[in-house]
């Protein structure tokens, strides 16, 4: 990928999070101009750090669930060559714990926000005849694992990605998404405070015997954004240490073998 991103602007939402920070640093090191977007003002600290490291970067504090906030942020970013819809939150673990307001909040943050950002960049990508959009969905979009509002939004993000790929491929625009499993990011901090062994407990469900690291998700995003994936569009790629390959716990019990 070296050199091919020089002079290109990459918008990364949820930039202040674990995956988002890695993406900013990775693409910045590749010569891209980083446009970092997050609802937390920590994104401005990140931008200053990137600048000190020689990265061309600017940032904006905005809640992507607000269409007006998205429009204002993207107006300041100028031409956008790559959009990474990385922002996401999970706040309601069960249907019983999700009231209509909470449901709407999670759909707005995880799906509607990604749509608003996508809507903001498509016209200029069409005019340019090129562009790439990579969205961070989740394996929750494929199977029931709790967090129902978040999961519904992530399933919708897969569908939206495929719709964009179908409609805008003729303009040279590619749209893909990655589906992470459990990732070691700050989103788990509140659970770890209650149970320090929660992530260790989850590892037995993963064929690789571990959970995903943020940079592993980011590397697949980097591939999808690169010229190496020039014929890839409409794809939803699991990055899940094998979780969606099958139920390894059940398989072991059925065969009475620890394979």
pLDDT tens across 87-144, in order? 998 888 899 999 999 999 999 999 999 999 999 999 999 999 999 999 999 999 999 9
Nearest to 9 by CA among 87, 83, 117: 83
Residue 50 lies in a domain: yes
**CATH number, domain containing residue 230:** 3.40.50.720
pLDDT band at 171 (very low <50, low <70, confident <90, very high): very high
Q: Is the per-residue pLDDT at 259 higher than 70?
A: no
State which residues form the domain around 154.
9-185+211-242
Q: Does the residue 250 lie in any domain?
A: no
Q: Is residue 78 a part of any domain in this protein?
A: yes
* pLDDT tens per residue across span 15-45: 998 889 989 999 999 899 999 999 999 999 9
Q: Do the domain assignments include residue 138?
A: yes
Domain presence at residue 248 = no
| Whether 150 is catalytic | yes
Residue 48 banded pLDDT, cuts 50, 70, 90? very high
Number of structural domains, the chain?
Answer: 1
Q: Is residue 199 part of a domain?
A: no
Summarize the confidence of residues 232-245 as an average pLDDT. Answer: 97
Active-site entry in 115, 154, 168, 206: 154
> For all residues of the chain together, what is the average pLDDT?
92
Is residue 68 in some structural domain?
yes
The residue annotated as part of the active site, out of 115, 150, 168, 206, is 150
pLDDT of residue 200: 86
Does residue 221 register a pLDDT over 80? Answer: yes
pLDDT at residue 258, rounded to an integer: 67
Clarify whether 200 is annotated catalytic.
no
- pLDDT the model gives residue 2: 56
Flag whether pLDDT at 191 surpasses 60: yes
pLDDT above 60: residue 224: yes
Q: Is residue 206 part of a domain?
A: no
């Amino acid at each position: 990928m070296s050199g091919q991103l020089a002079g290109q602007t990459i918008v990364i939402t949820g930039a202040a999070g674990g995956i988002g920070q890695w993406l900013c640093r990775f693409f910045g090191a590749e010569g891209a101009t980083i446009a970092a977007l997050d609802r937390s003002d920590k994104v401005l600290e990140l931008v200053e750090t990137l600048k000190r490291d020689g990265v061309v970067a600017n940032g904006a504090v905005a809640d992507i669930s607000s269409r007006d906030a998205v429009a204002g942020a993207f107006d300041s970013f100028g031409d956008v060559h790559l959009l990474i819809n990385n922002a996401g939150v999970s706040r309601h673990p069960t249907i019983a714990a999700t009231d209509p307001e909470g449901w709407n909040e999670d759909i707005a943050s995880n799906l509607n926000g990604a749509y608003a950002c996508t809507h903001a960049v498509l016209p200029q990508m069409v005019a340019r005849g090129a562009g790439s959009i990579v969205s961070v969905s989740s394996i929750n979009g494929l199977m029931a694992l709790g967090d129902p509002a978040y999961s519904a939004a992530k399933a919708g993000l897969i569908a939206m990605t495929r719709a964009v790929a179908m409609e805008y491929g003729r303009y040279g625009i590619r749209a893909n998404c990655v589906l992470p499993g459990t990732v070691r990011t700050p989103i788990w901090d509140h659970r770890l405070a209650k149970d320090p062994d929660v992530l260790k407990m989850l590892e037995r469900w993963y064929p690789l015997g571990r959970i995903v690291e943020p940079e592993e998700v980011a590397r697949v995003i980097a591939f999808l954004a690169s010229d190496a994936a020039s014929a890839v569009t409409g794809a939803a790629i699991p990055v899940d240490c094998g979780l969606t390959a099958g139920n390894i716990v059940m398989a072991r019990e059925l065969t009475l073998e620890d394979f």
